[in-house]
Amino acid sequence: ARALLAHPIPPDIIEESKAKEPEYQLPVCPGCGCPDPILKSVDPANCWKCEVCGKEWTEAVQESV
């Protein structure tokens, strides 16, 4: 462990740690535009339900790179 800690941190790791991740934005109901849907499940994708109009939808699964 000491030998590992004796090496400097690689520059690409330092740059990656400084990157800002965009803040997650809640989806808007595609039926009525309500900005506050309920998250029903997350497996395998986020499934939402609108309390205002009752519409249910699933977000598209994003491929990992």
pTM for this structure? Answer: 0.59
User: pLDDT tens, position by position, for the chain (65 residues)?
Assistant: 898 889 999 999 999 888 888 888 889 999 999 999 999 999 889 999 999 999 999 987 766 55
Task: Give CA separation, 25 vs 6, 13, 18, 35, 47, in Å.
Answer: 41, 27, 21, 10, 15
What pLDDT score was predicted for residue 63?
A: 61
Enter the tokens of residue 50.
């609108």
Distance CA 48, CA 38 (A): 6
What pLDDT score was predicted for residue 64?
A: 54
What pLDDT score was predicted for residue 36?
A: 93
What pLDDT score was predicted for residue 1?
A: 83
Enter the tokens of residue 51.
């309390």
